[in-house]
Structure 1
Amino acid sequence: MPSPDRTDPLILTLGFDAETFSLLNGLRQAHFPPERNFIPAHLTLFHHLPGPELAGIVPALRRACAGRGAIPLRVTGLRSLGRGVAFTVEAPELAALRRELAALWSGWLGPQDRQGFRPHVTIQNKVAPSQAAALLARLQAGFVPFEGSGEALLLWHYRGGPWEPAGVFPFAP
């Protein structure tokens, strides 16, 4: 693995419990265009944190995860992305954690990360709108809401496609 370029942006995602991850990642593997599927199923908290701030981000993530148990998630439905499909997620505790981190990092956040937080897991993207609409209809027909949990924060180096792990920060009550 090449050494990270300190200027590469960082991405922060939520790590799921094994069962939830297996389900969502299986759907992503089945429906995401393979030539574009560089990363596993994920729920993004921040899309672009500054790579040069890694040394300050890591201790902040350790503090944020300490004393915090697994975060309950409820997968409540599906939504169209136009050229893809995502599962919608309700997670008040996760939203509160994200607000805390956004306040801490407010000076670093770009427009995408300053927008409202709408937690979701993309299982298909970059396909023809008709293909996305067909998958959405098929999945909605049998959808039943389900629960899972977030067990860690995952930090990644963005590499213009593939992501490289930069740290795993388990919730530790």
Structure 2
Amino acid sequence: MCFNPPMSAAIGCAALTSAGLLAKRGRPFRSYSMFLYFAMMEFLQIAQYAVAGQCDSKLNQVLTWAAYIHVAFQPLVVNFYFLWGQRNPHPEVGSFVLKLCLGAAVLMLMRTPVLPLTLLGDYLHTYFPDIPSSDTYGKVKRRSSTTDSSFTEMHAHTKGWAHRDTTRQMER
């Protein structure tokens, strides 16, 4: 969450107003789709502020899951807005970029223990051990403080690239 509730409300309302004006003027959906998407994000964040820090709350878990899905598809929505329907001498580039964004979203969603895509992640884990399996997420230790050691312990379950990256960042 980037701002605070009043700023999120203002940005969400501005985005919703922009989308409404473009729709009222008869513009195609792609011209205001990004405004709607980011307005939805800001309103989702306002709801998340109400349950921030309540990790056992079902509402918090559902909102966090929704935000995760929202983030997974952000590149697709942004590139749809900027690439689709533009006068482009190479439309195959835009199509390729959208496919990459969709693939990245699928890979991100494979990491969530709630979605059926996790099964694909578990299958891939048997052949690529660096990809965490779905049981890994239940074993994550909660941080009691913000020290570097607790951060390393929290991410120790990855045993792969993520752990090495966080360790390297802490050494810098």
TM-score, normalising length: structure 1: 0.20
- Higher RCO by CA contacts (8 Å cutoff, separation 6 or greater): 1
More helix by share: 2
TM-score, normalising length: structure 2: 0.20
More strand by share: 1
Bigger Rg, structure 1 or 2: 2
